[in-house]
Amino acid sequence: MKMNVTYDLNITCKTLLREQLDKLDIPHCIHSTGEVEFKRTPTHEEMEQLSLNLERYGIQILMDQKIDLVQRIKNTIDEMLQDDVVRLYKVSSYLADQLNYSYAYLSNLFSETTYTSIENFIILRKVDYAKELMANTDLTLTEIAYRLNYSSVAHLSNQFKKTTGLTPTKFQTIVRKRKENRLQQPI
């Protein structure tokens, strides 16, 4: 027997964090951008335990300020792409507003640490989101283009081809064949 599931990583991670923090009785408030505010300062032992517990889920506590900020830029971008209203804002001013740094600073820091620019990262993220929708939903390309705020299907297709080297149709063929392959294999 097989079952398909779909999940929201954002909710998964927040729930995990909350459960782990509650388990250690650390009063807290989880902010949207992967930021946790403690209501009291946790002891060293508690932090160590928390770090160990979270490691099992691939969640890492960020200590380095710069890496931390880059991660918050990425988190904010993810949120932007998933929020129907926020998506329409200008990225540069939204990031600057949310994170309280000038966009020039954020942009330099990002390029310095990630080998790519914020603009390119957003494209990669959007295309990744488009792939997700193509692979796991019945949405048409037109609907996907609309949902991801592309001006047209052609715009989405061009950006998709430029980023992945494949046309959306080719991508869908590969994903479909992979699934068929997997179904043929003995469990």
Partner 1 sequence: MKINPPQVNSKILNIALADDDEDDRLFFQEAIEEIAVRTKLSLFQNGKELMDYLNLPNVILPNLIFLDLNMPIKNGMQCLKEIRNNPLLNPISIAIYSTSSSEKDIEETFVNGANIYLNKPSNFSKLRESIEKVLQINWQYHTSNLNKDNFLLRL
Using CA atoms, how far apart are residues 134 and 167, in angstroms rounded to an integer?
12
Using CA atoms, how far apart are residues 134 and 152, in angstroms rounded to an integer?
16
Interface size with partner 1, residues (CB under 8 A) = 34
The sign of the CA dihedral 132, 134, 138, 141 is positive
Distance of CA 10 to the CA centre of its chain: 8
Question: Is 33:98 a contact under the CB 8 Å cutoff?
Answer: yes
DSSP string, 117-148: -HHHHHHHHHHHHHHHHHHHS---HHHHHHHT
Give the CB-side neighbour count of residue 103, counting CA atoms within 13 A.
11
State the minimum distance, in angstroms, from the CB of residue 144 to partner 1: 13
Residue 63 lies near partner 1 (rule: CB under 8 A): yes
The length of the chain is: 187
Residue 36 lies near partner 1 (rule: CB under 8 A): no
Name which position in 132, 142, 154, 155 contacts partner 1 (CB under 8 A). 132
Amino acid at 95: L
State the minimum distance, in angstroms, from the CB of residue 56 to partner 1: 15
The stretch among 14-22, 25-33, 93-101, 127-135 that binds partner 1 (CB under 8 A) is 127-135
Nearer to partner 1, 70 or 145 (CB): 70
The stretch among 82-90, 91-99, 111-119, 147-155 that binds partner 1 (CB under 8 A) is 111-119
Name which position in 78, 95, 110, 150 contacts partner 1 (CB under 8 A). 78
Look up tokens 């988190």; give the residue.
75
The stretch among 23-31, 91-99, 142-150, 159-167 that binds partner 1 (CB under 8 A) is 159-167
Q: Where does this chain bind partner 1 (CB under 8 A)? A: 9, 47-48, 51-52, 60-64, 67, 74, 78, 114-116, 121, 124-125, 128, 131-132, 135, 164-166, 170-171, 173-175, 177-178, 181
